[in-house]
Structure 1
Amino acid sequence: FPTGAHKVGAAFGCLVPRLVTGQFNPETQKAVWPSTGNYCRGGAYDSALLGAESIAILPEGMSRERFEWLSKIAGEVIKTPGSESNVKEIFDKCWELRRSGEDLVIFNQFEELGNYLWHYAITGPAMEEAIRSASDAATRYFGLVSSTGSAGTIASGDYLKQVFPASKIVASEALQCPTLLMNGFGAHRIEGIGDKHVPWIHNVRNTDAVVAIDDRAVVACARLFNEPAGREHLEAQGVPAETLDRLDLLGFSGIANVLSAIKLAHHFELGRDDLVITVLTDSMELYGSRLEELHEAHGRYEPAHAAADHARWVLGMGIDHLLELGYRERKRIHNLKYFTWVEQQERSVDELNAQWNERTYWTSVQQQVEAIDRLIEAFNEKVAAA
């Protein structure tokens, strides 16, 4: 991906429907991208391709690399209070901009169904292709695990469940902010999975389980996978050189997803013929400063640290903090949307109920793909002829 994160596609999915239906004019309007980092980078990149002005909104506590990248691409960068789990402060800034009188369009990934649709129509089939290429006659595809964040990526599970009806969709979050697991809140260090609320576009009724990952595990594995002592330890444990050379493809949220998949496999007692799929959202390219901070706070990463982290957080991954969802648990999580989206963001309670009660709500969104594609083709032809 040109931005180093797959959120550039989600931003495209939110932008293009507005563009081809005349709801966004890149020549006169600014595009606003609320995010905890990767989505606003993708939005700023897409805006730059259109020649549109962009405004990126993200918490001030995000990694230095995010701000350095945005300073070169985005027209304006607005820092909001807090860090990864302070999404409400981002929403508050969006309302402030709406009331400012500026001519702008806010592409809120947490409620834009274009985000859901992109991952259903693009990420889902890409995952199906990967699953089939990794499968043989003995393989059973078990399910998808994905940190929720904006609940875009997890929409790919809706596609996969239609292809593989027995498969599961598992949502992951930070243990330090267990909103789905136990209506919890708190700050955490897993950058890229903004939370403390349930996104409007999360099809909760189709979600089968929730898993929470300790952010200490993610930070420890970031050092294990990238520090020389960590690489040497893993090599001694028999990890292939080809794998070692690619461990830097796992950013913080990618590490969290992989650890969630391990926990899931332990909980359901999966074997070598069971296949679980997840996604590596971004790479360590955005977290070099975090490793520097860990050096300063905890000193040099030694072989003993690597052995301990590998044993505790990878080999010793337990089955705690995983909840299989029944009707009541799903409904509890879905109901949390009310407090963010109806009370604070002025969404309709009728639509909230429709998301739960009307089975055609989500399928009607999925069926918009061909219509939007036709509009894109017509738009491109019109632009080319101008």
Structure 2
Amino acid sequence: MPNILFEKCAISGIGETAYVRGSGKSETALQMEASLRAIADAGLSPKDIDGVIPYATGSAVAEDFITNFGIADLRLSATTPLGGAGCIAAVQNAVGAIVAGIANHVLIPIGRNGYSGARIGSRVQQLPQFRTVGEFEMPLGQIAPVQLYAQMARRHMETFGTKSEHFGKIAVTIREHATMNENTLMTEPLTLEQHQNSRMISDPLRLFDCCLESDGGAAIVISSGERARDLKSKPVYIMGIAEGHPDSPSAITQRPDMTTLGTAKAAPRAFGMAGVDHKDIDVAEIYDCFTYIVLCQLEDLGFCKKGEGGDFVASTSLGLDGPMPINTHGGLLSQAHIIGMNHIVELAKQLRGEAGKAQVRDAKIGLVTGYGDMGDGGVAIMRA
């Protein structure tokens, strides 16, 4: 199947704030700061932006960007309430709008105070599926994301023999990458022994299986391929993109297979659209709210069969020296929890050759995923 998106859309600009605990800024201010940096990175003026897709549960709406940036004619505004899959879904919406001629430069910003503001533990009450979760999960005491996803991890372990040590290898590898990054919260190496000795949060997920609570902002600008070629920074072209929703999308406990995510539906579409195979992927930024979710996505993406994720992780190097390094920035587990927008920014850096000490040699094609709420999945494949 030919690449139907061939050079039609590209990431033209990327921007990040410092990732910290205690930003001292509002979430709107963090979005604006990251957005201005992304716009400047593209060599654009804020007034050039004609599409905005803010974070669905964030503090800023499209009108805030019109007011603050002096945008005279905003042609597209939308939200994509898929939690951590929302950033990939936003890119898909931006691509559709640009290909349709609705907009030329679409800004996708994220800004959140996950540490100093609303903590991750309160996320369940923000879910679009809250009514269903309130009926099926919360009466059983599942009031935080780690409790919702722990049961998925335990089912995988009981069904396929997956071990905590497999989760640990993922955590250790991603932390190693974080230590090479100057803009990261976790700067000390992590050993498998430390992972195994860390306290249990929700069986079988331990402390170092869980993502960070952090403050910060990140943003990207998506432009038409034709315009991106004439802008300041090297364009990163979007080859294939898709979103997918799991069966029984509103309640984990009610679905027939708790070990399969919406990623399994999105991945074949993204790979088919891009016209590439798994062996063509040089680097992957995989949404890592929990280590188990990384392992599950590796299966659903097709890098190994369902149930073989543990053996795949044990036998395959996911580090910079391996065939497909993952989360080269440190991810949500060790860099910061920016709803996965930092994953997209990192992939753009890798494909531009701007990832510093964690740069993957000769990275030409990369993959980035999003994972949201009860199992929504997003997959994007990009190239320099």
What is the TM-score of this pair, normalised by structure 2? Answer: 0.28
Q: Which has the higher contact order (CA 8 A, sep 6+)?
A: 2
Q: Higher strand share goes to which structure?
A: 2
Q: Which has the larger radius of gyration?
A: 1
What is the TM-score of this pair, normalised by structure 1? Answer: 0.27
